């Protein structure tokens, strides 16, 4: 995007020419300067710096404000106008806003340069900042109307996901957003807006309602298959993705392989046993209850089957039980001894 190393040198060079106290306060506030590796990456608060100097937070704020004015009036400040313009152009192409952490990583993957990117955003008159809230992650804007557009798009997509009760691959969620945008925005946004994939992605990134899971599928953030917190949620996510029963050891391997999370076999097995979302259908093999599997032993399954269907032949029972349990045919036949057999060879309760 631009030469971040040269940009850092320019910022540090301007800072070095400032009065000692001003330089120290700006360095500590924004984690910039030649010795910034010894500072807090997120910067220090006005209160923290004020305590060290024995003055109020308001006094530190005044010095910071004057220091930023000195910075912008420096003869070398013109060297930063191009980087600032490029950041603005990038955000514009993303729909007029971008989540802060993703913006920093997009400009430079090296965290040591992130304080300098934030500093450019701070001094650039083109940018406005929205701090993190219960609804949004922290983000930066270049277009004020972008927030209104994002709110409407995100609200609509969240309603679709909630109504369908399913995960959406990225290409589908983007297509829905682009296709429905004119209808969603027509009542409030007067000018015709054509949204791109990058716009929709940026809007979704800032909301806390919708999240993307490790398989690049979108759903509501509180769903376990979207935001798995414990080993139980991770097992649920993998089974949903695989769409078939798995042995708990294979399930553990897939969690480690696909989610890059270490798993204790014993802990996983205990979670599968005690949680009602999972059903044991064979030796160490688990399925999701929502797939239609019922709790109980093979004998319990046969009993329920005969209760619902009435007397059945051995072959009919074996066929039906195998839809519920991954067991040998001999195991099913062994359990038939606990049921009555009619003269015509059928089993009943």
As a whole number of angstroms, the distance between CA 344 and CA 329 comes to 21
Per-residue pLDDT, 37: 76
Question: Tokens 């993303």 correspond to what residue?
Answer: 94
Distance of CA 106 to the CA centre of its chain: 17
Per-residue pLDDT, 190: 59
Per-residue pLDDT, 40: 85
What lies within 8 Å, CB to CB, of 338 at 6+ separation is 299
Per residue in 257-271, pLDDT (tens digit) is: 998 889 999 999 999
What lies within 8 Å, CB to CB, of 121 at 6+ separation is 87, 127, 129, 140
What lies within 8 Å, CB to CB, of 180 at 6+ separation is 156
Per residue in 131-150, pLDDT (tens digit) is: 999 999 999 999 988 999 99
As a whole number of angstroms, the distance between CA 209 and CA 88 comes to 26
Q: Contact, 309 vs 267, CB < 8 A?
A: no
Per-residue pLDDT, 172: 96
| 102: its two tokens | 């993703």
- Residues in the chain where the model's pLDDT stays below 70: 187-191
Backbone angles phi, psi at 121, to 5 degrees: -65, -35
**Rg from Cα positions in the chain:** 30
Q: Which helix (H) or strand (E) holds 222?
A: none
The string of DSSP letters for 111-137 reads GGGHHHHHHHHHH-TT-EEE---SSB-
Residue 207 is given by DSSP the state: B
As a whole number of angstroms, the distance between CA 205 and CA 216 comes to 13
Per-residue pLDDT, 194: 81
* Strands laid side by side in the 128-130 sheet: 97-99, 139-141, 128-130
Per-residue pLDDT, 148: 92
Backbone angles phi, psi at 297, to 5 degrees: -80, 175
What lies within 8 Å, CB to CB, of 81 at 6+ separation is none
């Amino acid at each position: 995007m631009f030469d971040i190393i040269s940009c850092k040198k320019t910022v540090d060079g301007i800072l070095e020419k400032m009065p000692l106290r001003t330089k120290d306060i700006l360095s500590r506030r924004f984690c910039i300067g030649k010795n910034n590796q010894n500072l807090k990456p997120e910067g220090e608060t006005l209160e923290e710096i004020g305590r060290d100097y024995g003055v109020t937070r308001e006094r530190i704020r005044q010095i910071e404000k004057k220091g930023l004015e000195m910075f912008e009036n420096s003869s070398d400040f013109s060297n930063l106008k191009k980087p600032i313009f490029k950041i603005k152009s990038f955000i514009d192409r993303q729909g007029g806003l971008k989540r802060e952490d993703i913006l920093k990583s997009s400009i430079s993957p090296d965290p040591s340069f992130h304080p300098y990117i934030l500093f450019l955003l701070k001094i650039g008159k083109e940018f406005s900042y929205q701090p993190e809230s219960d609804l949004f992650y922290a983000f930066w804007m270049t277009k004020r109307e972008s927030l209104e557009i994002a709110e409407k798009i995100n609200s609509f997509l969240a309603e679709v996901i909630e109504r369908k009760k399913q995960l959406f691959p990225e290409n589908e969620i983007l297509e829905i957003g682009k296709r429905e945008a004119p209808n969603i925005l027509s009542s409030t946004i007067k000018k015709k807006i054509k949204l791109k994939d990058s716009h929709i992605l940026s809007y979704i990134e800032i909301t806390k309602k919708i999240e993307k899971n490790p398989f690049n599928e979108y759903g509501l953030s509180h769903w376990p298959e979207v935001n798995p917190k414990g080993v139980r949620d991770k097992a649920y996510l993998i089974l949903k993705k695989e769409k078939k029963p798995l042995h708990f050891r294979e399930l553990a391997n897939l969690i480690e392989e696909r989610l890059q999370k270490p798993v204790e076999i014993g802990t996983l097995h205990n979670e599968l046993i005690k949680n009602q979302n999972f059903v044991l259908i064979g030796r160490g093999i688990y399925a999701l209850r929502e797939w239609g599997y019922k709790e109980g032993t093979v004998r319990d399954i046969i009993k329920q089957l005969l209760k619902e269907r009435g007397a059945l032949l051995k072959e009919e029972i074996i066929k039906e039980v195998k839809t519920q349990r991954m067991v040998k045919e001999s195991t099913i036949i062994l359990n038939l001894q606990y049921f009555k057999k009619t003269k015509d060879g059928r089993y009943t309760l």
